[in-house]
């Protein structure tokens, strides 16, 4: 008698394959789990406390042993007790949670930036060195990685449970988070914000490599062009350098060293130039006119993809002098007066 | 008699007792007399039938969802169909069941009686409110028949405005119309409670059920219009592209979520507060004691309503709201948890030195206390900023709000339905099987939703049609639990229907409870009271009741 051994084996294997607790694969994970266990303990104690009170009273004061109830008005002391103690615990939770929140969302200054573009229903990762990935992300251990994320269409959310991090990926706005992976391996990547038909297929794999393996991977999988190089091409092909030439008489402001600087706009406000500002200024120039310049820049809304914008932003970030811009300009001008190339037979 | 030591139930002699011939049910005959009635009790019955209907439709969708999730592969239905399932489940359960559940049925029936009035302040608006509900419900059914909608019940833009070609407008209209039904109910309650209390019925003599409904009504009246605005903007954006939420037109996609949660967070208190009112009545009656700390419980309802309006952005901690606003909203979220804790402890201490019996409503109330405590405390996880990053948008949050809404609210609703069933119908429900149903529901509920907390911490995202195979064991447990839960919910509808004809005649006050509603016949007369009562004692005054019944000759018929 009993369960069939085949079925038994199947059940044992099935139950053993079940996950019960996520792996800790980032520096954030232990911090998160610590708070989780504190909150879990709070819940268990709370339940046991309420359960014990209810059960004790139910047994001691059931009608069979306590036929006549004693009326009690209430007790200010008890009310104060169960107002102040839960409040104190909740405030501890608040402070603890807030510290963790700032830890997760404030990247260290030396972090490596990777761009993530979400669209229905895939994740694109763009490494600064020009590696492009779809529904996958390769990262090294022991190095803080910042993700700068944007969506092309609807809200998505980038979640790596084993790293205990998640952030909404918003259309038209960069959002950032960071992590530092600790253990090589592969981990789930989920889109956790409902985004339409194939929401549950918008998943991927995070591959964490040792620094040596990561170096090997970057060399093997580069497209040959870094994001900034792509951006430079785009900059030239969109004729940005016609105005942003860096000349004193140019119609557009010089872009050299603009990233990270404080800019004064025509309306008098001061802004810090970061990735988000650069992106907005390209798409919606009339709202971002640098003081002293005329509002003549056309919008590039609809002409540039999010990937293209990332390339441009990366290019502008690397632009420390106007030397390359002017060189491009000279080249393009010399292109117009194209010298007859040898070997080309003129009609 | 041994039975008397374990129950407070006191029924009239069944061999001679009959349900009173003249009551609100027999006052008029014919379908039209129901459809055109102004009587709050009849409207409550209309609501009870319609929300039960929608509850089972919403429940059927829940069953389909759990069935699909039995296996990791997306094998039962297509992804679009699955998305429609959870959207319909959410829309129906939230807007057509949870929001009107206790207020529009039990509240509608009892608030006028509890304050000593003959009807609500605006009987015709009350009827209009039911018709609006029916129109809203019909539109939801129309959406279903036409092919469904897959926005999720949250209608998140720009998905709902630009990327879906399902019946968003029909559903939006349904929610808009159903919203007005809820506004009218709230308005009616506020005016009734302010203006129509009987002589001697001061604010602090009101039953806590009325306090809870007063707080919920304020939320309904102030919150629901914001939902209406948000939903109209979604419809306009879809139809003519006004661009309020469209970033390419200079709109803000997050603005919709601010507007939506400005209603939808208070909405969870609209759902839970009336349930808390039920629990106060039930716990007091079955422990024969005044509710411990009456004023604390009353004011905690008001505090929940007040704080409830200032916590909406805790649904958006990971959405790129400013860090400082996240801090403020997290702090306020912690504050709103405190009044709930106060209530739980006050109910627990109501039992102290009582004389407790364990009839079905009390079992459901105990179920409520256990499940709501878990639901409430897991809410603290989500209010805590850092923890929220990992847990939000996963099954943890699904489990959390089902513990509050289903474990809390539905338990309270069933507790209330059983408790006041004799008053509404004049007949008792069968005790043994209903106790069984309460226990089955409790077990089924825990089996369904406890595994989802673990799934959530593992990171399984909500609204997923397929999932990694290592999550299967927990999902199978959850589906198994849902089956048990389904049985637990089917039982009451069967035996309650049976009891309409075969239940024991209840008499005026089977529970020996103190509320004004128990001092009149069951089912009540259309005008509730033959003469307007004069309230000369506080709520839950069992000594007054004892004194009263001691000098009373029980008449039958």
* Angstrom distance (rounded) from CA B180 to CA A101: 39
Q: Is B6 on the interface with A (CB under 8 A)?
A: yes
* Angstrom distance (rounded) from CA B479 to CA B63: 8
Count of C-beta atoms within a 10 Å radius of residue B356: 28
Residue B432's Cα: distance from chain center in Å?
25
Tell me how long chain B is: 557
pLDDT score of B487 = 95
- The b-or-e profile of B95-128 (16+ CB within 10 A means b, else e) is bbbbbbbbbbbbbbbbbbbbbbbbbbbbbebbbb
Residue B503's Cα: distance from chain center in Å?
26
| Distances B321 to A105, B229, B254, B308, B317 between C-alpha atoms, Å | 12, 22, 9, 19, 7
Tens of pLDDT, residue by residue over B201-257, are 999 999 999 999 999 999 999 999 999 999 999 999 999 988 888 877 878 888 999
Sheet holding A136-140, edge to edge: A136-140, A203-209, A185-191, A156-160, A165-169
Write down the architecture of domain B3-550 according to CATH: Up-down Bundle (1.20)
**How many angstroms separate the CA of residue B157 from the nearest CA in chain A?**
7
Inter-chain Cβ pairs, chain A and chain B, closer than 8 A: 305
* Angstrom distance (rounded) from CA B265 to CA B281: 26
Query: Which of B387, B403, B540 is the mutation pick for testing A, counting most A CBs within 10 A?
Result: B387
pLDDT score of A329 = 58
The answer to pTM > 0.95 is no
Sole residue written with tokens 């959310």:
A157
pLDDT score of B188 = 96
- Mean pLDDT estimate for chain A: 87
Closest CB from A20, A47, A79 relative to B373: A47
Are B352 and A57 in contact (CB < 8 Å)? yes
Among candidate residues B11, B212, B183, the one with its CA nearest the CA of residue B110: B212
**How many angstroms separate the CA of residue B401 from the nearest CA in chain A?**
15
Mean pLDDT of B59-76: 94
Contacts of A21 in chain B (CB under 8 A): 457-458
Mean pLDDT of B322-338: 93
Peptide bond just before A285 cis, omega within 30 deg: no
Residues 177-236 of B with CB under 8 A from A: none
Contacts of B6 in chain A (CB under 8 A): 62-64
Residue B80's Cα: distance from chain center in Å?
29
Please give the helix or strand (H or E) that residue B6 lies within, else none.
none
* Angstrom distance (rounded) from CA A279 to CA B111: 58
Residue B481 has pLDDT above 90, yes or no: yes
Assigned CATH for A22-224: 2.60.40.420
Q: Domain-by-domain residue ranges, chain B? A: 3-550
- Return the CATH number of A227-334, one of 3.40.50.1370, 3.40.50.11690, 1.10.760.10, 3.30.830.10: 1.10.760.10
**Which tokens belong to B441?**
């529901």
**CATH 1.10.760.10 domain extents, chain A:** 227-334
Tens of pLDDT, residue by residue over A49-61, are 999 999 999 999 9
Question: Are the CB atoms for B41 and B524 separated by under 8 Å?
Answer: yes
Judged by average pLDDT, the poorest of A308-312, B245-249, B398-402 is: B245-249
* Angstrom distance (rounded) from CA A256 to CA A238: 18
Are A62 and B457 in contact (CB < 8 Å)? no
**CATH 2.60.40.420 domain extents, chain A:** 22-224
In A, minimum Cα distance to B151 occurs at: A196
* Angstrom distance (rounded) from CA A221 to CA A238: 28
Mean pLDDT of B107-121: 95
* Angstrom distance (rounded) from CA B38 to CA B29: 14
Question: Are the CB atoms for A42 and B377 separated by under 8 Å?
Answer: yes
Q: B521 φ, ψ to 5°?
A: -70, 160
Judged by average pLDDT, the poorest of A91-105, A219-233, B360-374 is: A219-233
Residue A187 pLDDT class (50, 70, 90 cuts): very high
Residue A42 pLDDT class (50, 70, 90 cuts): very high
**Which tokens belong to B264?**
């939808």
């Amino acid at each position: 008698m009993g369960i069939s051994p085949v079925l038994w084996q199947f059940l044992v294997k099935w139950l053993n394959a079940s996950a019960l607790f996520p792996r800790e694969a980032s520096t954030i994970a232990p911090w998160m789990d610590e708070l989780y266990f504190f909150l879990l303990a709070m819940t268990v104690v709370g339940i046991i406390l309420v359960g014990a009170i209810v059960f004790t009273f139910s047994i001691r004061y059931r009608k069979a042993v306590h036929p006549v109830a004693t009326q009690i008005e209430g007790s200010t002391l008890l009310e104060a007790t169960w107002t102040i103690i839960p409040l104190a615990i909740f405030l501890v939770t608040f402070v603890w949670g807030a510290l963790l929140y700032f830890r997760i969302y404030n990247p260290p200054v030396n972090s490596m930036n990777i761009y993530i573009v979400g669209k229905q229903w895939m994740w694109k990762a763009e490494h600064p060195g020009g590696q492009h990935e779809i529904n996958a992300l390769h990262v090294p251990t022991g190095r803080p990685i910042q993700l700068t994320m944007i969506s092309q269409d609807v809200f998505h959310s980038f979640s790596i449970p084993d790293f205990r991090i998640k952030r909404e990926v918003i259309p038209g706005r960069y959002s950032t988070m960071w992590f530092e992976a600790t253990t090589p391996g592969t981990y789930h990547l989920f889109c956790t914000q409902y985004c339409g038909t194939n929401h549950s297929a918008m998943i991927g794999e995070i591959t964490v490599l040792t620094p040596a393996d990561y170096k090997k991977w970057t060399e093997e999988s580069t497209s040959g062009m870094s994001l900034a190089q792509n951006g430079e091409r785009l900059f030239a092909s969109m004729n940005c350098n016609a105005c942003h030439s860096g000349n004193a008489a140019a119609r557009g402001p010089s872009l050299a060293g603009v990233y990270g600087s404080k800019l004064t706009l025509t309306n008098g406000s001061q802004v810090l130039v970061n990735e988000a500002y650069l992106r907005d200024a390209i798409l919606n120039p009339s709202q971002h006119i640098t003081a002293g310049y005329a509002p003549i820049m056309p919008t590039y809304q609809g002409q540039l993809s999010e990937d293209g914008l990332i390339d441009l932003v990366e290019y502008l970030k690397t632009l420390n002098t106007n030397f390359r811009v002017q060189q491009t300009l000279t080249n393009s001008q010399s292109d117009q007066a194209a010298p007859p190339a040898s070997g080309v037979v003129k009609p | 008699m041994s039975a008397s030591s374990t129950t407070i139930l006191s029924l009239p002699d069944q061999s001679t007792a009959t349900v009173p011939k003249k009551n609100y049910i027999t006052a008029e005959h014919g379908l039209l007399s129901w459809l055109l009635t102004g009587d709050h009790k009849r409207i409550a019955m209309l609501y009870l039938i319609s929300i039960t209907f929608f509850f089972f439709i919403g429940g059927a969708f829940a069953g389909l969802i759990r069935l699909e999730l039995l296996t990791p592969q997306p094998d039962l239905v297509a992804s679009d169909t699955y998305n429609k399932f959870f959207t319909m489940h959410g829309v129906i359960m939230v807007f057509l069941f949870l929001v009107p559940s206790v207020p529009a049925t039990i509240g509608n029936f009892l608030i006028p009686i509890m304050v000593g009035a003959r009807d609500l302040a605006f009987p015709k608006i009350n009827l209009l409110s039911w018709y609006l509900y029916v129109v809203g419900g019909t539109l939801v059914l129309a959406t279903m028949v036409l092919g469904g909608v897959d926005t999720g019940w949250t209608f998140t833009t720009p998905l709902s405005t630009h990327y879906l070609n399902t019946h968003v407008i029909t559903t939006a209209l349904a929610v808009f119309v159903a919203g007005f039904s809820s506004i009218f109910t709230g308005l009616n309650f506020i005016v009734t409670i302010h203006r129509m209390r009987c002589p001697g019925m001061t604010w602090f003599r009101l039953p806590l059920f009325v306090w809870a409904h007063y707080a919920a009504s304020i939320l309904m009246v102030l919150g629901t219009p914001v939902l209406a605005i948000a939903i109209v903007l979604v419809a306009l954006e879809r139809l003519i592209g006004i661009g309020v939420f469209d970033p390419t037109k200079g709109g803000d996609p997050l603005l919709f979520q601010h507007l939506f949660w400005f209603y939808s967070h208070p909405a969870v208190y609209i759902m839970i507060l009336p349930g808390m009112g039920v629990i106060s009545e039930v716990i007091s009656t079955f422990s024969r004691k005044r509710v411990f700390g009456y004023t604390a419980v009353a004011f905690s309802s008001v505090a929940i309503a007040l704080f409830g309006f200032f916590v909406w952005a805790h649904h958006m901690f990971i959405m790129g709201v400013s860090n400082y606003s996240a801090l403020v909203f997290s702090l306020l979220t912690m504050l709103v948890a405190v009044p709930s804790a106060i209530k739980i402890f006050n109910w627990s201490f109501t039992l102290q030195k009582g004389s407790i019996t364990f009839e079905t409503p009390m079992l459901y109330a105990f179920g409520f206390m256990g499940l709501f405590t878990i639901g409430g405390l897991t809410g603290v996880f989500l209010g805590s900023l850092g923890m929220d990053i990992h847990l939000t948008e996963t099954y943890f949050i699904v489990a959390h709000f089902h513990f509050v809404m289903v474990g809390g609210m539905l338990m309270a609703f069933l507790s209330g339905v059983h408790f006041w069933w004799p008053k509404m119908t004049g007949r008792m429900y069968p005790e043994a099987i209903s106790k069984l149903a309460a226990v089955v529901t409790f077990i089924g509920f825990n089996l369904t939703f406890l595994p989802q907390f673990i799934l959530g911490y593992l990171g399984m995202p909500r609204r997923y049609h397929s999932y990694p195979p290592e999550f299967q064991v927990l999902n199978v447990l959850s589906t198994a639990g849902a089956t048990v839960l389904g049985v637990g919910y089917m039982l009451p509808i069967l035996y309650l229907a049976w009891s309409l004809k075969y239940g024991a005649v209840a008499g005026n006050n089977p529970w020996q409870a103190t509320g004004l509603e128990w001092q009149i016949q069951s089912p009540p007369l259309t005008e509730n009271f033959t003469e307007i009562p004069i309230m000369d004692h506080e709520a839950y005054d069992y000594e007054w009741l004892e004194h009263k019944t001691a000098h009373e000759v029980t008449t039958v018929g």
